[in-house]
Chains A and B, each alone.
Chain A
Amino acid sequence: MFFKNYRTVIFICAAVVAALILLSYSLKYASGTGMVKKLVLEAAASVQIFFNIPVERTKSAWTRYIHLVGLEEDNRKLRQTVAELQAQLILYQEGRLEADRLRQLLSLQQEYQHSFLAARVIGKEQGAFSRSLWINKGSAHGLKPGMPVMVSQGVIGRITDISWHNSKVMLLIDQSSNVDALIQRTRAQGIVRGAGTRDCVMRYVSKTQDVREGDLVLTSGLSNIFPRGLLIGRVSNVGRTDFGLFLQINVVPFADFASIEEVMVVTGVPVQDLAGEKTVK
């Protein structure tokens, strides 16, 4: 009767005592390998595996997501770096190309015994009737109207208008441009005139002259404007008509007028190139 009435109290007390004994025993002997504990651990391991499946999957997905976020960030940084490097590369390429062009221009000085002044093209004028360039040197730098202007490939024109710090260069292809020229192979003389496009025509060459496609055209030096022997272009076509006294000769200039960025102005010419004297003008 007593046990029945106080069953719960007795059981709780027994549980507390059991727990205390268990604790004392485990503290004293530190044996973690009891049968019950083994069973609990075995069961717990199975449950742990069961819980680990979704956890690991979630972790894996999360890690992948974080990795992707990192990749996106890396990708953005790399793109930025590539863009910066490309800009730098373009800058270096520009520098190298400019150096090449300037080197070619400077080679003119060794090739010809003239005095040159380098100038940068600051503008282009390509109207219906005129083809000209603006360069960043003017009378303050010693330039004068009529001075020939060259690039490494040959003559491109001459200075027509001038201010203190800028000059206008009339190109060979300008229809107002006339240059005394000769065919290198036969020394046949004529005048190269601009055709308004990318080409020129050579006029006043007698039909009796032997002119062929591919012949080089040089300045003759007769007009006292252009020194003798500067490259102008190459004969691209020779027309012989039944009427008229002269050949119809098309000349393609060596210089590419669309891509000129730097020029050399011929500021001093040995007089022998103009009039046969050995002094520099």
Chain B
Amino acid sequence: MIYYLLLPFAGIVLVVFQNTLANVLFSGWLTLELSLVLVIYAGFRLDALKGAVLAFVTGFAFDCVSGAPAGLFAIIYLLIFIFSFFVSLRFAAEKLALITVFSLACSLIESALLLAVYYFVFKFENLGDMLFAFILQALLVSFLSAGAFYMMHKMERFFHGQTRQFPRRAAAGRISAQA
């Protein structure tokens, strides 16, 4: 229960932290999406309920802080979480090369969805200028994901003696109703 109570605050802190860091490092030119890395990690490591709540809350916090339409990042993060969750049924999170490529794909999907919404809903033009930034951002997220997964893997080994596994997900090739 404490997880669900602390999650909104943790989500807000994470989003504000990543915005501050991006402002310091890139002067707002790029977004350092640690929240996306967290959602992908949740897709691989957390159970579906906790992960979905995390994705929704983090996305909503990002919506509020970034000024995007409420629900935009929430739905994108939820979709990415579900995608990650399905991928995690087939692939192990220890394969860092896979994580890197997968994170790159997730970030590009996110960018594509954002561009689509802004193009079709808000009728934004000159979105091509943002393409370069989105590609850089996707590369950044992929490397950050690899680093984050590696660190978490080490930390899990340090605290639990071995990488934590969810038996219901590791054993089955499908989503369990109990997951």
Residue positions of A touching B, CB distance < 8 A: 5-9, 11-12, 15-16, 18-27, 30, 32, 34, 36-37, 40-41, 43-44, 47-48, 51-52, 55, 58-59
Contacts and interface: CB of A to CB of B under 8 A. Distances in A.
B175 A37 contact: no
Given A19-B60, A36-B60, 19 more contacts: A8-B49, A8-B179, A15-B53, A19-B56, A19-B71, A19-B75, A19-B78, A22-B71, A23-B69, A26-B69, A26-B70, A30-B69, A32-B70, A44-B12, A44-B61, A44-B64, A47-B16, A55-B20, A58-B24
Contacts of B60: 19, 22, 36, 40
B148 interface: no
Interface residues of B, number: 38
A46 B117 CA distance: 30
A25 B72 CA distance: 11
Contacts of B13: 47
Nearest to A30: B69
Contacts of B72: 23, 26
A20 B20 contact: no
B49 A11 contact: yes
Given A16-B78, A19-B71, A23-B72, A44 B15 contact: yes
Interface in B62-103: 64-65, 67, 69-72, 74-75, 78-79, 82
Among A8, A37, A41, A58: residue with most chain B CB under 10 A: A8
A5 B178 contact: yes
A51 B23 CA distance: 12
A19 B74 contact: yes
B13 to A, nearest CB: 5
B70 A44 contact: no
Contacts of B55: 15
The 6 A-B residue pairs with the shortest CB-CB distance in the complex, in nearest-first order = A22-B71, A23-B71, A19-B75, A40-B64, A26-B70, A19-B74
B71 A20 contact: yes
Contacts of A26: 69-72
Contacts of B119: none
Contacts of B52: 8, 11-12, 15
A129 B59 CA distance: 103
Given A11-B52, A44-B16, A22 B9 contact: no
A22 to B, nearest CB: 3
Contact of A41 (B9, B17, B65, B75): B65
